[in-house]
Structure 1
Amino acid sequence: MAILGVATLAVVALTTPWRALPAGAPPIEPDPARDFTAAQIARSEAFDAAIGVPAYLSLGLTLVVAGVLVGTPLGAKLLARLRGPWWLRVLFGVLAISAAVAILRWPLGMWSETYLREFGLSTQTWASWTADRLKNIGIGTGLTAIMVLAVVALARRYRRWWIPAALGAFTLTVVASFAYPVVIEPLFNDFTPMPASTLRADLLAMASKDGVPVENVLVADASRRTTALNAYVSGFGATRRIVVYDTLLRAPADQVELVVAHELGHAKAGDVLYGTLVGGLAAAFGACLLYLVGSAGPVRRRTGVPSIADPRAVGLLMGLLSLATVLSGPGQNLVSRHIEARADAHALDLTREPAVFVSMQKRLAITNISDLSPNIVEYLLYASHPTAPQRIAMARSWALLNGVGQP
């Protein structure tokens, strides 16, 4: 168990690209005022202040519910009322707790959506918003039910259930990552091949030059949901694809190419596969921690759960999973920011267009109303990418390092 934890930390520490540019790159301080007007900065701050309230309340709700499930016998007492076979009680327990949390969280989601509309980011109707939210809840509840049911089943059969649970957690993570682009993504968007055009030919030529095998580029109909600009790479092997939001196609072609060059950086570095394997290791280690914490005498006495093999342990397990998700978030974001910075450096190396890169980052930040200078709490909790000023500063550093005119 300890070996798995140390191995996971070692893999993350040794494989994360902690430095995106060579050591000799001149330091450039991020400065929002250098690239954004006072009005743009004020709009970013106003949006962050508005959207932050429901976001923090949602986080607080998650912690409160998890605390109740892990620190009190309330969950076990409520679940003790369920009748039927143990597996059916487990499934009903997951469904009941998930539904209760979804109902509590629903007003906060509507509150957040009103701000997204007020600032022009959301193009959804309440019907489409509700449909998307129910899909997310259904997918999350289904995955949680699989995990909790597996843990209880293994605990009922094996004394050292953490061993098969760790193997199962790793396997589920890999399978889910492989299936996500072909099973989950189509539930939310329609994807069509980018039509034959100069842009498509240029993107495929750039991929070929980069040595990244890309047979197609897909366009997602994101405009039915948002005005935000984005592109991403998902899946690996046969499911790997580069996806471009249709909203991004309204940008100049050279900026679209910069975004795709960033995504090619992810593909060339194998970031999706890397993230899947590291996530699998972390999930396996999490199963071990679940065994240690869930089997501890003080925890079981405080929650009134005789053992993890009892269906009444559903609340305890779901509470621990929620806490693990929140606590692991800052670490995941830290690694993600460095991986994104490496992809930015790759885009600059591939295109050698730092001025276009800066223009593209400004467009993304203004259109998506990105937080240009988040406070430390928001940066740790929510920032999976460097801020726009940080990315622009890196582009200027790259330009000086490579003798290209500083944008």
Structure 2
Amino acid sequence: MRARRAALVAAVLLLAAFAVVVAVTTPWDVLPERVADPSAGLPAEQVSRAEAFAAALRPASLASLLLGLLVAAVLGLTRLGARLVRAVAAPLGGGWFWQVLLGVLALAVVGRVATLPLSVYGEVVRHRYGLSTRSWGLFARDVVVNLLIDTALTALAVVALVWLARRAARAWWAFAAVGAAALVVVGSFLWPVVIEPAFNSFEPLPVGELRTDLLALAEENGTPVQDVLVSDASRRTTALNAYVSGFGSTRRIVVYDTVLDRLSDEEIESIAAHELGHVAADDVLTGTLLGALGAAGGVALLGWLLTSPALLRRSGADGPGDPRVVPLLLLLVAVGTLVATPVQNLVSRQIEARADAHALDLTGDPEAFVDMQRLLATTNLSDPDPPTAWHRFFGSHPTTSQRVALAQEWRP
């Protein structure tokens, strides 16, 4: 009981530190207090089309989220999940390692199969509205690659956690918390060079005025980049986007190839300036710190929950070192992720607004910014003024109407 209490205390302290960093580093006063034009100046027919697209997609997205959680709950809070973990490892001798490794894979496949019809429906809707250009073969490939990457990373973490619990029954959660924080840091550095190439190809932007201007913009921002790359995003979507990824020698501006066809150079520079605003404010480093604190706090909380007699009894596991605990562990992670989502998005919206303000300061061109936001909303079929509850829970960026209002209020 003393070790369980220590895990709870550590979780409270780590999550309190997370809250302090959020409170101190988040810009809370950037977004305009009121929006005069909820339509963001978009034509009525465009607003109607965006609202129709959202109305077709939101129920499926919410149903997929709830169905995935329901499947995880059924497997994690009954003996069914424990039996599945044992069954898939039986042909290989049933050792704890194979139970964990194959158990994670089996549980991931069950969850993905359960929600796959809703994903297919979502893809049909995106095709219907012209947002998706993926062939069904490429869609299937993306589903499989996503599943394999997510499962491999999850299996690696869960195998390490169960191994620690078997080796250090009282302090496993402390070692696992340190490991989780370290994985977040390493993942932030490896993502642009390991994960991104699994889904897209990148080519240098040809030498010309736009490339020169983007490199100069990064220099003026005080955050020089190593390259400007073009992503072959049009294989999957008609959406417009650009971003900055990497650190130091791997930092680069990435522009969707769809952007080059649709936006003027000034509008592309406005997008790049927004992304450079994240770099100037060290948003990735702050996000990595928050991710590390959140991961460590979450694992410490798992150290408390996975020793709960009531939860262990329902799952059919003897403790955190028992492979049969895997379904319960994955359920708790899913619930924790869901609870953290509105907090994460609240912070994200404020940070994105600060990057918008930085873009306006860096380019001094609010007209190009507004034109770019309206074109993004039109092409991406963004609802300029979504329902408040939906936006607060799922919205990671300010609404188009908020971003346009911010630019209209901006002064040099």
Same fold (TM over 0.5): yes
User: Does the residue aligned with 1:247 lie in a helix, a strand or coil?
Assistant: helix
User: Does the residue aligned with 1:233 lie in a helix, a strand or coil?
Assistant: strand
User: CA shift at 1:201, angstroms?
Assistant: 0.9
User: Does the residue aligned with 1:35 lie in a helix, a strand or coil?
Assistant: coil
In structure 1, the partner of 2:326 is: 314
- C-alpha contact (below 8 Å) 1:235/1:272 kept by paired residues: no
CA distance in 1, matches of 2:198, 2:241: 18
CA distance in 1, matches of 2:322, 2:36: 54
In structure 2, the partner of 1:405 is: none
- C-alpha contact (below 8 Å) 1:28/1:396 kept by paired residues: no
Residue of 198, 206, 214 corresponding to 1:195:
206
CA distance in 2, matches of 1:227, 1:149: 39
1:4-153 map, 5 Å:
4-20=14-30, 27-33=33-39, 35-81=41-87, 82-83=89-90, 84-153=94-163
User: Does the residue aligned with 2:230 lie in a helix, a strand or coil?
Assistant: strand
In structure 2, the partner of 1:213 is: 224
Residue of 241, 246, 255 corresponding to 2:257:
246
1:257-406 map, 5 Å:
257-399=269-411, 402=412
User: CA shift at 1:34, angstroms?
Assistant: 5.1
User: CA shift at 1:47, angstroms?
Assistant: 0.2
User: CA shift at 1:314, angstroms?
Assistant: 0.9
TM-score by length of structure 1 reads: 0.94
User: CA shift at 1:39, angstroms?
Assistant: 0.3
CA distance in 2, matches of 1:370, 1:231: 16
CA distance in 2, matches of 1:48, 1:33: 15
Give CA deviations for 1:163-206 in whole Å, capped at 9, x if unaligned.
Answer: 10000000111111111100110111111111111111111112
User: CA shift at 1:369, angstroms?
Assistant: 0.3
CA distance in 2, matches of 1:295, 1:329: 25
User: Does the residue aligned with 1:51 lie in a helix, a strand or coil?
Assistant: helix
Unaligned runs of 5+ in 1: 403-407
User: Does the residue aligned with 2:39 lie in a helix, a strand or coil?
Assistant: helix
In structure 2, the partner of 1:182 is: 193
Matched, 1:237 2:237: no
- C-alpha contact (below 8 Å) 1:262/1:344 kept by paired residues: yes
CA RMSD of aligned residues (A): 1.4
TM-score by length of structure 2 reads: 0.93
Give CA deviations for 1:22-79 in whole Å, capped at 9, x if unaligned.
Answer: xxxx855252335011101100110001111210110111221232234323212332
- C-alpha contact (below 8 Å) 1:132/1:188 kept by paired residues: yes
Unaligned runs of 5+ in 2: 1-9
Instruction: Report sequence identity in percent.
Output: 51
In structure 1, the partner of 2:3 is: none
Give CA deviations for 1:100-120 in whole Å, capped at 9, x if unaligned.
Answer: 111111111111000100000
Give CA deviations for 1:258-279 in whole Å, capped at 9, x if unaligned.
Answer: 0001011011111112211211
CA distance in 2, matches of 1:214, 1:368: 27
Give CA deviations for 1:287-309 in whole Å, capped at 9, x if unaligned.
Answer: 00111111111111222211010
